[in-house]
Chains A and B, each alone.
Chain A
Amino acid sequence: MAGIDLADDSAVVVIGSGAGGATVAHELCSRGIPVVLLEAGPRIAPSDFQNDENVAFTQLTWLDPRQATGNWSAGRYAPNLPALTVKAVGGTTLTWNGLSYRLQPWEFEARTRYGEIEGATLVDWPVGYDELDPWYARAEQKLGVTGTHSLPVNAINNNFKVLYNGARRVGYQRISNGGLAINSKPFDGRPGCIQMGFCNQGCKISAKWSTLVSEIPKSERTGLLDLRTRAMALRLEHDAPDRISAVIYDNGDGTLHRQRARIICVAGNAIETPRLLLNSVSPSHPDGLGNDSGQVGRNYMRHVMALGFASFPDPVNMHRGITTPGTVFDEGRHDETRGFAGGYLIEAAALGLPTLAGLLDPTGWGKDYAEFLSRYDHLSGTLLCGEELPRAENGVTLHATEKDQHGQPIPVVHVDEHPMNDRMRRHFHGRVAALYESVGATQYRAGVTVAAAHNLGTCRMSNEADAGVVDAFGCSHRVRNLFISDGSVFPTSACENPTLTIVALALRQADHIAGRMGRREL
């Protein structure tokens, strides 16, 4: 494994080993470029993952202090846990569901398609579907997405069977269990799925793709990856206003190091990435590195989410098998008559009993609630994943006084939801309740997702330097060797789970970086 000297200023430094960061690192290593990869968390072997929601939460979750403010669910119910992100090698690819859906072509043109919406900062993407198409195809190949590249889809499990039949009865047409980065048969040195459940707790057998079991070991085999774990990046330094020169990081025991760099790619997710830039203040960057536009940290988006669970006379056993086994896509369209912009997906989703009891109603108690929970093996569930509009004031800022264990101001994640969010949730609950009723449900409960699962948009890309933080390749408008390589760059959220798009953008960005390095432009 490459040991890259701290003073070596020819290195590319990538910060964060999740979907975006590890993908960029792997692409560069594969092209012969040495990479220092800083990961704030430890490296955990898949065999150490736990089939236990509570234990896995403690093992994997990023629990450094953060604050949630605003009228959203985390502001109300989880003021210290705005988002469920992972602090370990692999980042949130350890706990993602594997849903690998491409954005739809029209979703790249949200502003054009939806028009001006009051209280939203809608824009079109500076990159379109046709441009991303080949990168999507490569991403699908790398992840082993079922239904693509001759990979069969997985078998249908109980929970999806309920959703599928209900969806057909209420007239939905676009229903599939394809598009999962979960092996239906051995692929890429990883085994086929054994329907364990616990996809969100880290896949113990590595049937589900994560960078921990794919890009990281592949990069290591090139001999060009210098992976440093428990290495928390604290701030970035520059030697000219438009040239980044080093990252200061804590190596885990409080010792600070300065790693010199030729290029830095930041991929800490949409909370830690803007936080790092905002913490990197200098006379030429008084509001944070590369923040001349004032857009760093703004336009934070999750997805509009909700849970819909129904009780049936006969057993379902939703917990057996893939956690999110399939999806109804019919509502993933823009239709102004519904009262909200953008579309949503109806994703079959199982929760274990501890999470279900805690989440379904975060303040729930009493006879009705306890009785619904007692029906556990007769329940079937879905998750709403819908487009959330960007808003200028929703975002990540630095806390004025509170510091983390490294002495850095903690991030404050603020969300005041657009009124359309609740309109979308009401529409979803109406449709899903009818869907479940059509196959015999006796009771339906609307549930809440408290902390954010998807984190997007806080360093949005734009063609104009004053309208965003990075260009269409994720390169800072102001600092020419600074790149953002995660979901922070999304200008809008679309309604699909974001990982496949993050990977596609990272593949395209790495190609762009390697090309410019080859031409000595970087």
Chain B
Amino acid sequence: MSFDRRRFILATGSVLLLQGCGRGPVTVSSVPEDTAPLTVEETDTLAVMVRDLFPGPGLTDVLYGRVVKKLIRLTSDDMIAELLSNGIRELDSGADWRAMTPTQRAAGLRQIAISPFFQYVRYQAVTTLYSDFSVWALYGYEGESFSKGGYLGRGFANLDWLPEPKTRLPWPV
């Protein structure tokens, strides 16, 4: 399936472009409109890498696109720009990275797992993805509770598949 990136962005005004969120062969992933200093192809490779790093159930390309967007923002530091473009070039240096099977890509990532490029992308991915409110909602982390009066009376002790302790526990033990 081909997709006109620019027209989609113009039509929606969105900074994110998404196409599919499947686990199948990747063609184009979700990347921001302005990818400079990286090329569109490079950011696509990056998006695929981020998805391979954290292929969590329910995580969509919109979320992976947010990681890529953050990485692009971080390229305002020249050293990061160089780290990323060199790392992506390395990924793409053999066969077409995006055309490989997920298993092949995972094996490739394992080989570069000690590289600064990999570690930087992994760190940005894990901190961005799992700090995203929509991921919290997806996985049942409820976050801020002060404004709702805490969890007193809101399920802090509602686990019902195990028995309650019969007596009050002693202190000191």
Contacts and interface: CB of A to CB of B under 8 A. Distances in A.
Interface of A: 51-52, 54, 102, 146-148, 153, 155-158, 161-162, 164-165, 174-179, 193-198, 204-205, 314-317, 319-321, 326, 329, 352-354, 356-358, 363-367, 369-371, 373-378, 439-440
B164 A161 contact: yes
Interface stretch (B40-48, B74-82, B86-94, B145-153): B145-153
- Counting from the closest, the 8 A-B pairs by CB-CB distance are A178-B171, A147-B171, A377-B140, A194-B150, A321-B156, A357-B130, A370-B56, A196-B150
Nearest to B114: A363
A370 B54 contact: yes
Contacts of A357: 126-127, 129-130
Nearest to B149: A194
B130 A354 contact: yes
B130 A373 contact: yes
A358 B170 contact: no
B103 to A, nearest CB: 10
Interface of B: 52-59, 106, 109, 113, 119, 122, 125-127, 129-131, 135-136, 138-146, 149-152, 154-159, 161-165, 168-173
A320 B172 contact: no
Nearest to A152: B168
Contacts of B156: 155, 157-158, 195, 317, 320-321
Nearest to A194: B150
Given A198-B145, A204-B146, A164 B171 contact: no
A375 B139 CA distance: 6
A176 B170 contact: yes
Given A52-B144, A147-B171, A165-B162, A358 B150 contact: no
A317 B172 contact: no
Given A161-B159, A178-B171, A366-B106, A196 B151 contact: yes
Between B106, B113, B159, the greatest number of chain A beta carbons within 10 A of the residue's beta carbon is seen for B159
A153 B169 contact: yes
Nearest to B51: A370
B113 to A, nearest CB: 7
Contacts of B113: 363, 365
B59 A370 contact: yes
Given A51-B145, A51-B146, A367-B55, A157 B157 contact: yes
B169 A319 contact: no
B136 A161 contact: no
Contacts of A51: 143-146
Contacts, number: 167
Contact of A363 (B122, B143, B151, B169): B122
A370 B56 CA distance: 5
16 contacts: A54-B127, A153-B169, A155-B156, A162-B162, A165-B163, A176-B173, A179-B172, A194-B150, A195-B151, A196-B151, A321-B150, A366-B53, A366-B106, A371-B57, A373-B56, A374-B138
Given A319-B141, A371-B56, A374-B58, A195 B122 contact: no
A363 B158 CA distance: 34
B55 A370 contact: yes
Nearest to B123: A358
A235 B147 CA distance: 44
Contacts of B52: 366
A326 B57 CA distance: 32
Given A177-B169, A329-B173, A156 B56 contact: no
Between B109, B146, B168, the greatest number of chain A beta carbons within 10 A of the residue's beta carbon is seen for B146
Contact of B135 (A197, A353, A365): A353
B145 A196 contact: yes
A148 B172 CA distance: 8
A16 to B, nearest CB: 28
A102 B135 CA distance: 40
A156 B169 CA distance: 10
Contacts of A162: 159, 162
A101 B59 CA distance: 42
A393 B127 CA distance: 34
B56 A374 contact: yes
A146 B171 contact: yes
A192 B122 CA distance: 41
Contacts of A158: 155-159
Between B59, B165, B168, the greatest number of chain A beta carbons within 10 A of the residue's beta carbon is seen for B165
Contacts of B55: 366-367, 370
Contacts of B172: 102, 147, 176, 178-179
Contacts of A54: 127, 131
Given A373-B56, A374-B57, A52 B143 contact: yes
Contact of B154 (A315, A320, A354): A320
A296 B64 CA distance: 49
A374 B173 contact: no
A316 B159 contact: yes
